[in-house]
Amino acid sequence: MEAYLDNSATTRCTEAVRDVVIHTMMDDFGNPSSKHMKGVEAERYLRDARETIAKTLKVKEKEIYFTSGATESNNWAIIGAAMANRRAGMHLITTAVEHAAVLMPMHYLEEQGFRVTYLPVDQKGHISLTDLEQAICDDTILVSIMYVNNEIGAIEPVAEAGKLIKSKNPGILFHVDAVQAYGKMTVHPKKLGIDLLSVSAHKIHGPKGIGFLYINEKSRIHPLILGGGQQKGMRSGTDNVPGACGLAMAAKEAYEHLGESTEHLLALKKRMMDGLEALNRSLMGQPRIVIHSEPGERSAPHIVSAAFPGVRSEVLLHALEDKGIYVSAGSACSSNKKLPVSTVLKELHLKPELLESTLRFSFCRYTTEAEIDYCLSALAELLPVLSRYARH
Ligand code: PLP
């Protein structure tokens, strides 16, 4: 049996996504910039894709810009907003637990003379609104806060943050990295006070290498990719029609099934967390498994992060892999990178033995209870054996 429990890393495309991608590569393969019929037809595909996505967010079609994925969307939102608004101020705010695709552009801007405040998080990964309020200065131009943390699933108080930012200064742009939230929960930027929102297709059963940035029509942001002037000159490069259609199909399917998927994911998460607790009881005398993710509304339904003290995450990851179970190591700082892979776990101030032994299990709407049970039984078999070899 196989259990793919790494859906926050990437997901398998659905058949409908595959079909529309192939169709727009093999049959209706035109370039929207061409003036002939094939181009007009491709332009229509692009327009329809934009319309489908805009509907899921309750925004205007012209506010959706296709990108090569969320890394590009985040870079564009942050650097583009900073460049366009530098006369208004040189201060930005983000959180200490963002994805590298937010943290690295922030570091880059620091090198260019901007000041960045990194908000700390509590033990469960949430920022404090008081900290946010105190961080906002007269020259703050952008706040960037992720919706759902990709490592432990914490849901940040985005709606409250949006309200707070706009009440302090409506001119401050609010960017949200919604990669782990879009398709899993309702995301309505206008209601949440969000001006810029990043999304990636491959996390929601769409193709890799495509995503979008929502830009509120009133927001000022510079383009970063210059060239042939596609997408109103805001993001040049031949339009990725198959990618856009695949993304739109994935979005449509995700939101059509949202209610059932959420219920299913919550049930899977509970099964996994209950199973880990039961394991804790059965592994008497062994170090206790520590679950970082919370149940309830402040945590995403598709992510369970847990530490297995005494067993290094890479060792457990590969032992599970031998049984056809695929998960992510939550920590594993890589020595040759400036940025540790898990800044997030470090920010939770976990003890080293928890940092070194964390795994992330992430689900999708196609994950089955049988996969969860298979993973739990593999853990029950492996943990007593592997922890025997652990350094104590
Ligand atoms: N932001 C978050 C929260 C993510 O989880 C990821 C992917 O892991 C990214 C950004 C980067 O997305 P992409 O793979 O589309 O570049």
What is the mean pLDDT of each successive set of 10 residues along the chain, which is 392 residues long? 97 98 98 97 98 98 98 98 98 97 98 98 96 98 98 97 98 98 98 98 98 98 98 98 98 97 98 96 81 93 96 96 94 45 81 92 98 98 85 52
Mark residue 80 as left, alpha or beta (left: phi above 0; alpha: psi -120 to 50; beta: remaining).
Answer: alpha
Euclidean distance between CA atoms 204 and 256, whole angstroms: 13
pTM passes above 0.85: yes
| Nearest protein Cα to ligand 1, atom 16 | 71
**Ligand 1 test: best mutation among 75, 156, 179, 210, most atoms within 8 Å of CB?**
179
Q: Output the pLDDT for position 335.
A: 43
Cα of 248 from ligand 1 centre, angstroms:
18
Q: C-alpha angle 106/198/329, rounded to 5°?
A: 75
Annotated active-site positions, please?
333
Say if CB 12 and CB 2 are below 8 A apart. no
Look at the block and give the residue holding tokens 């509970």: 270
Distances (CA, A) of 349 to 124, 226, 357, 360, 361: 10, 42, 14, 17, 21
Please provide the size of the chain in residues: 392
Q: Output the pLDDT for position 390.
A: 64
Atom of ligand 1 nearest to the CA of 74: 10
Q: Output the pLDDT for position 333.
A: 43
Q: Output the pLDDT for position 285.
A: 65
| Nearest protein Cα to ligand 1, atom 10 | 70
Cα of 101 from ligand 1 centre, angstroms:
7
| Nearest protein Cα to ligand 1, atom 12 | 70
Q: Output the pLDDT for position 202.
A: 98
Cα of 102 from ligand 1 centre, angstroms:
9
Q: Output the pLDDT for position 332.
A: 43
Cα of 82 from ligand 1 centre, angstroms:
21
Q: C-alpha angle 219/131/95, rounded to 5°?
A: 60
Q: Indicate the SS3 state at residue 124.
A: coil
Q: Output the pLDDT for position 349.
A: 87
Residues 373-388 as b/e (b if ≥16 CB within 10 A, e otherwise) read ebbbebbeebbeebbe
Q: Output the pLDDT for position 345.
A: 87
**Ligand 1 test: best mutation among 7, 11, 71, most atoms within 8 Å of CB?**
71
Which stretch of DSSP H or E encloses residue 328? strand 328-329
Number of H helices and number of E strands within the chain?
14, 13
Q: Kindly give, in sequence order, each residue whose CB lies less than 8 Å from that of residue 157, ignoring residues fewer than 6 positions away.
A: 126, 127, 129
Say if CB 35 and CB 231 are below 8 A apart. no
Q: Output the pLDDT for position 334.
A: 44
Cα of 187 from ligand 1 centre, angstroms:
17
Euclidean distance between CA atoms 388 and 323, whole angstroms: 20
Q: Report the half-sphere exposure of 338 (CA within 13 A, side-chain side).
A: 4
Give the pocket of ligand 1 (CB within 6 Å). Answer: 69-71, 74, 99, 101, 146, 150, 177, 179-180, 200, 211
Mark residue 15 as left, alpha or beta (left: phi above 0; alpha: psi -120 to 50; beta: remaining).
Answer: alpha
Tokens of 16: 């409908």
Contacts of residues 323-326 at CB distance under 8 Å and 24 or more positions apart, as own/partner, are 323/374, 323/378, 324/1, 324/2, 324/3, 325/2, 325/3, 325/5, 325/374, 325/375, 325/378, 326/2, 326/3, 326/4, 326/5, 326/6
**Ligand 1 test: best mutation among 68, 147, 203, most atoms within 8 Å of CB?**
203
